[in-house]
Amino acid sequence: MDIALTEARAAGARGEVPVGAVIVGPEGVIAQAGNRTRELNDPTAHAEILAIRAACAVLGQERLAGYDLYVSLEPCPMCAAAISNARIARLYYGAGDPKSGGVAQGPRVFAHPQCHHRPEVYDGIAAKDSEQLLSDFFAARR
Ligand SMILES: [Zn+2]
């Protein structure tokens, strides 16, 4: 999660919403990313999506069975669906996201009957640090 927070800080420094994600497998960290929606002009360039794409590219496969994803903020519904499609084994996230989260609130993607793969979910990991990053970022923009 320390690496995810480092990616989140780097994203904030680029003017992006400070969220970072890391994918870890038996061989260790294989991908890490921060939000790049503004830089790439791409509304799907969330940290989780970029990390999943990078990990799949490294491995040359479309699924990440047995891999874990760490992300500083509760995934949105789009990212939760991608995590499910990627067959991620375990999801660790920091702060909950009442506004845009799709795991513990909102659509609760993994609880949906059409969800074919549910990762194990562990929330609240370094949540205070993640929340602080986000609140500092938005406070500075006001
Ligand atoms: Zn997302």
Whole-Å CA distances, 58 to 98, 100, 142? 33, 29, 39
Catalytic hit among 7, 16, 48, 74: 48
Question: Is residue 92 within a helix (H) or strand (E), and if so which, with residue range?
Answer: strand 90-95
The residue assigned the tokens 């059409």 is 114
Q: Tell me the pLDDT tens digit for each residue of 6-58.
A: 999 999 999 999 999 999 999 999 999 999 999 999 999 999 999 999 999 99
Residue 141's pLDDT band (boundaries 50, 70, 90)? Answer: confident
pLDDT in tens, 85-136: 999 999 999 999 999 999 999 999 999 999 999 999 999 999 999 999 999 9
3-state SS, residue 9: helix
Q: Over 80: is that where the pLDDT of 142 sits?
A: no
Nearest to 70 by CA among 55, 85, 60, 57: 55
| Beta strand segments in 28-80, E | 28-34, 68-73
Q: Which residues surround ligand 1, an ion (CB under 5 A)?
A: 46, 76, 79
Q: Look at residue 120 and give its three-state secondary structure.
A: strand
Note if 27 is an active site residue: no
